[in-house]
Amino acid sequence: MILPLMIAACGGERSPSTPSEMPPPGATQACRVVATEWSSTYTFAPATTSSASFSAVDRVYTEYSPAGSSRAVRRVTYGTLADFVDEAAAFGRFLSRRTEACPARETCGSGLAPAMLLAVEVPSYDNQRRRTGLTAQLNGALLYTDTYTQWDSQGRPTAGTRSMPQACTLPLSATYDEATRTMSMGPSGPGAGPFCFGLAFALSQRFDANGNVVSETDTAGGTSTTVNHDIRATTQVCK
């Protein structure tokens, strides 16, 4: 599931469209082991299989479902090869430039065409390559904006706000459990206004030792859904 995030920057900081200007805070690495095939089981949906490939030429990680097909359901674009490799050195850290996904995978055709149900995330970064914000759109319409104002030593957001234009703003917090390699992000307090309900969703992701997501729980409206990924194949990508 695509995580709607935000667009924003603190104070007078410059916010480049790509985080490639300097090494990120915290860990870096020479190579990344990334999932290329996995099976997924869902709380309220049939099991699926998926595959993925990374193109070092255009720096795009593309997921396909079912596995081995040409039906692209998610595409993540990076500014540099180093962004893609370094991202996984700290679980829950994201250094991508743009993410496109089909929220209902069964409606996707052979690619991510604008005419499809298309969700897009466009992040922003400061000059330390910390994510400062992210905008979430659905078929070109703005859904909400997340703004981050605090980070941990690895450059991962820990606090900020989530807002809907001229409607509602909620405080946002994120935590990272090193023992279980779990990231949790969601509203950290009550909001005001009739439209806040649409912003009150939370996400929890668990990562394997290589930084691949192996479990994700989405919570909204008092209901939680979980998907577990059984990774069957990987490949190594190096700088």
pLDDT tens for 178-216 read 999 999 999 987 655 566 777 889 999 999 999 999 999
**pLDDT higher at 81 or 103:** 81
The residues spanned by each domain of the chain are 31-238
Residue ranges of alpha helices (H) inside the chain are 81-87
Residue 25 has pLDDT above 80, yes or no: no
pLDDT, mean of residues 85-90:
95
Confidence of residue 11 (pLDDT cuts 50, 70, 90): very low
Token reading at 92: 């829950």
Tell me how far apart the alpha carbons of residues 106 and 109 are, in angstroms, rounded to a whole number: 8
Angle in degrees, CA 82, 40, 93, rounded to 5: 30
Tell me how far apart the alpha carbons of residues 173 and 161 are, in angstroms, rounded to a whole number: 8
- pLDDT score at 139: 86
Residue 167 has pLDDT above 60, yes or no: yes
- pLDDT score at 190: 64
Cβ contact 83:89 at 8 Å: no
Average pLDDT taken over every residue of the chain: 85
Q: What is the pLDDT of residues 97-114, one digit of tens each?
A: 999 998 765 556 555 655
Cβ contact 239:82 at 8 Å: yes
Ranges 31-45, 116-130, 197-211: which has the least confidence: 116-130
pLDDT, mean of residues 34-51:
96
**pLDDT higher at 123 or 2:** 123
Tell me how far apart the alpha carbons of residues 188 and 180 are, in angstroms, rounded to a whole number: 21
Buried b (16+ CB within 10 A) or exposed e, 66-93: ebeeebbbbbbbbbbbbbbbbbbbbbbb
Residue 69 vs residues 53, 63, 208: alpha-carbon distances, Å: 12, 10, 25
**Sequence-distant contacts of 197-201: CB under 8 A, at least 24 apart:** 197/221, 198/144, 198/164, 198/168, 199/144, 199/162, 199/163, 199/164, 199/168, 199/170, 200/170
